């Protein structure tokens, strides 16, 4: 009984994705029908240019933010993790990290308006960066612990230069943390609605902004199509992660 209940809860987590896919393929699905009248690809094939520009904006923003905040977080945390003021830096990083993105956006909107960055892709990119960077910093701050510092010291003792230590010791050891940070910051940017809508002034239409617009217009089928596209990259990342974890576990057990 317990097991059945638990597996049904697991199925419940997969249900939203199945429902969205079915809704995006439905010809008509009115109350009280439990299933759509028929299936069609017309909502997918009839997508207009606005959808593809939103997809491009979201993809470009998420990739850029993922790469930039991961690099900035890694490089700055590497030095600040052992700075005399590290505890203050850590405390200060928590506030932007915990602040609601939409309230943050309203707070800083004035500066974006006077610098002509509001309503521009570069403005949304900068706003998302200053939201994601403290997150990346916090993630790497914990990564650069005493063990990693000892490893860095050992590499220096053995005669490696700072560049060699960075590229041949720190980067390989931090591969998993870098991958995790990129995935997380990519998703923060990809999922963002509040910041993009406020700083973008409705002119930078990302996929989430477009989804909200379709929901507001009660355009259920197109909202389902964009929602499917919003969910696709994270699902792909999850699947890749699952595959990777499984492979590494298998390799470990084989070599053990």
Instruction: Please give the Cα distance from 81 to 121 (Å, whole number).
Output: 32
Q: Do the beta carbons of residue 75 and residue 67 sit within 8 Å?
A: no
Determine phi and psi for 36, rounding to 5 degrees. Answer: -65, 155
Task: Assess 120 for contact with other proteins (CB under 8 A).
Answer: no
Task: Assess 99 for contact with other proteins (CB under 8 A).
Answer: yes
Q: Do the beta carbons of residue 69 and residue 185 sit within 8 Å?
A: yes
Give the closest residue to 188 by CA, choosing from 171, 208, 203, 210: 208
Task: Assess 221 for contact with other proteins (CB under 8 A).
Answer: no
Choose one: 1-9, 43-51, 116-124, 169-177; the region binding other proteins (CB under 8 A). 1-9
227 CB neighbour count, 10 Å cutoff: 23
* Number of residues that this document lists for the chain: 256
Name which position in 93, 177, 178, 225 contacts other proteins (CB under 8 A). 93
Name which position in 39, 103, 150, 251 contacts other proteins (CB under 8 A). 103
Whose structure tokens read 């200060």? 92
Name which position in 40, 180, 212, 219 contacts other proteins (CB under 8 A). 212
Instruction: Please give the Cα distance from 61 to 126 (Å, whole number).
Output: 10
Residue 11 CB, nearest approach to other proteins (Å): 8
Task: Assess 168 for contact with other proteins (CB under 8 A).
Answer: no
Indicate the residue among 133 and 178 with the shorter CB distance to other proteins: 133
User: Which residues, numbered 41-80, are part of the site for other proteins (CB under 8 A)?
Assistant: 72, 75-76, 78-80
Residue 48 CB, nearest approach to other proteins (Å): 20
Instruction: Please give the Cα distance from 200 to 124 (Å, whole number).
Output: 6
Residue 203 has which token pair? Answer: 């002119």
Task: Identify the three-state secondary structure at position 26.
Answer: strand
Residue 99 CB, nearest approach to other proteins (Å): 6
Task: Assess 34 for contact with other proteins (CB under 8 A).
Answer: yes
Q: Do the beta carbons of residue 128 and residue 65 sit within 8 Å?
A: yes
Task: Assess 182 for contact with other proteins (CB under 8 A).
Answer: no
Task: Assess 20 for contact with other proteins (CB under 8 A).
Answer: yes
Q: How many residues bind other proteins (CB under 8 A)?
A: 87
Task: Assess 217 for contact with other proteins (CB under 8 A).
Answer: no
Name which position in 39, 42, 50, 111 contacts other proteins (CB under 8 A). 111
């Amino acid at each position: 009984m317990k097991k059945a209940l638990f597996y049904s809860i697991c199925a419940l987590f997969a249900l939203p994705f199945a429902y969205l896919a079915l809704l995006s393929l439905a010809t008509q699905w009115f109350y009280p029908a439990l299933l759509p009248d028929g299936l069609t690809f017309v909502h997918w094939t009839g997508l207009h240019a606005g959808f593809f520009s939103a997809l491009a904006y979201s993809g470009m923003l998420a990739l850029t933010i993922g790469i930039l905040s991961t690099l900035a977080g890694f490089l700055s945390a590497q030095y600040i993790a052992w700075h005399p003021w590290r505890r203050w830096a850590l405390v200060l990083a928590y506030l932007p990290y915990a602040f609601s993105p939409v309230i943050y956006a309203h707070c800083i909107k004035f500066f974006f308006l006077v610098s002509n960055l509001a309503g521009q892709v570069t403005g949304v990119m900068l706003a998302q960066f200053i939201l994601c960077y403290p997150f990346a910093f916090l993630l790497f701050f914990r990564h650069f612990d005493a063990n990693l510092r000892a490893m860095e010291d050992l590499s220096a003792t053995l005669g490696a230069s700072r560049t060699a230590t960075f590229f041949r010791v720190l980067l390989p050891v931090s591969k998993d943390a870098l991958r995790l940070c990129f995935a997380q910051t990519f998703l923060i940017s990809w999922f963002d609605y509040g910041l993009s809508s406020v700083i973008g002034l409705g002119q930078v239409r990302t996929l989430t902004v477009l989804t909200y617009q379709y929901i507001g217009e009660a355009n259920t089928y197109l909202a389902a199509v964009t929602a499917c596209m919003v969910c696709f990259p994270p699902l792909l990342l999850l699947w890749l992660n699952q595959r990777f974890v499984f492979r590494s576990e298998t390799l470990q057990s084989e070599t053990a």
